[in-house]
């Protein structure tokens, strides 16, 4: 998100909060699970995140709250709350 308006900050903060809440409630979530939750359950259809962008968004904005490990069989990132 470019720009410095208060509405953009509010959207970014809501997106962060929704992701943190989902991952803490359902540990073991993949990036596809997070995107599906945002799009379908929370009705945030214009959040702009794809499964590939989640892999960049979480380490950039939520590194202190959410961590991940790689699934041995699929090689996907599995997200969980940071200890």
State whether CATH 2.40.50.140 applies to domain 6-81: no
pLDDT at 67 over 70: yes
Which conformational region is residue 9 in: left (phi greater than 0), alpha (psi within -120 to 50 degrees), or beta? alpha
Global confidence as pTM: 0.85
Domain segments of the chain as ranges: 6-81
Q: What is the dihedral of CA 70, 73, 51, 8, to 10 degrees?
A: -20
How many angstroms separate the CA atoms of 67 and 44, rounded? 23
User: Taking residues 67-73, what's their average pLDDT?
Assistant: 93
pLDDT at 1 over 60: no
Band the pLDDT of 25: cuts 50, 70, 90.
very high
Q: What is the pLDDT of residue 3?
A: 60
Which conformational region is residue 67 in: left (phi greater than 0), alpha (psi within -120 to 50 degrees), or beta? beta
pLDDT at 33 over 90: yes
């Amino acid at each position: 998100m470019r720009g410095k308006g208060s509405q953009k900050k509010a959207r970014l903060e809501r997106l962060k909060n929704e992701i943190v809440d989902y991952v803490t409630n359902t540990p073991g979530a993949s990036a596809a699970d997070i995107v599906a939750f945002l799009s379908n359950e929370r009705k945030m259809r214009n959040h702009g995140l794809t499964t590939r962008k989640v892999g960049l968004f979480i380490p950039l904005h939520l590194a202190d709250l959410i961590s991940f490990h790689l699934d041995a069989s699929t090689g996907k990132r599995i997200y969980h709350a940071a200890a």
